[in-house]
Amino acid sequence: MKQFEHYSLQAYNSFGLDVEARYFVEYESVADIQELLQSGLLNGKRVLAMGGGSNLLFLDQFNGVVLHSGIVGIEEKEHDADFVTLRIGSGTEWDAVCAYAAAHNLGGIENLSGIPGETGAAAVQNIGAYGVEIKDVITAVETIALENGKQCYFTNANCNYGYRDSIFKQSEKGKHLVTAIEIKLCCKPVINREYGALNDYLCNKGHCEIADLREAVIAIRNTKLPDPKKLGNAGSFFKNPVIPLKEFEVLRNEYPTMPSYSVGSEWMKIPAAWLIEQSGWKGKNLGNAGVYEKQPLVLVNRGVRSGKEIAALANAVIKSVEEKFGIALEPEVNFI
Catalytic residues: 164, 236, 332
Torsion of CA 177, 180, 181, 184, to 10 degrees: 180
Minimum CB distance to ligand EPU smaller for 83 or for 163: 163
Residues making contact with ligand EPU (CB under 6 A) = 129-130, 224-225, 235-236, 239-240, 259, 271, 273-274, 277, 282, 295-297, 332
Q: Count CB-CB contacts under 10 A for residue 115.
A: 24
- In the complex, what is the shortest distance from the CB of residue 144 to ligand EPU, in angstroms, rounded to a whole number? 27
CA-nearest of 140, 139, 310 to 233 is 310
- In the complex, what is the shortest distance from the CB of residue 226 to ligand EPU, in angstroms, rounded to a whole number? 11
Minimum CB distance to ligand EPU smaller for 146 or for 272: 272
Compute the 3-state secondary structure of the chain and give helix, strand, coil in percent, each to the nearest 5.
30, 30, 40
Does residue 125 contact residue 164 with C-beta atoms inside 8 Å?
yes
Q: Which residue's Cβ lies closest to ligand EPU?
A: 235
Minimum CB distance to ligand EPU smaller for 247 or for 277: 277
Alpha-carbon distance of 311 to 329, in angstroms, equals 13
DSSP type of residue 240: P
- In the complex, what is the shortest distance from the CB of residue 239 to ligand EPU, in angstroms, rounded to a whole number? 5
Alpha-carbon distance of 145 to 174, in angstroms, equals 9
Minimum CB distance to ligand EPU smaller for 36 or for 321: 321
* Backbone dihedral angles phi then psi of residue 244, each to the nearest 5 degrees: -60, 145
- In the complex, what is the shortest distance from the CB of residue 73 to ligand EPU, in angstroms, rounded to a whole number? 25
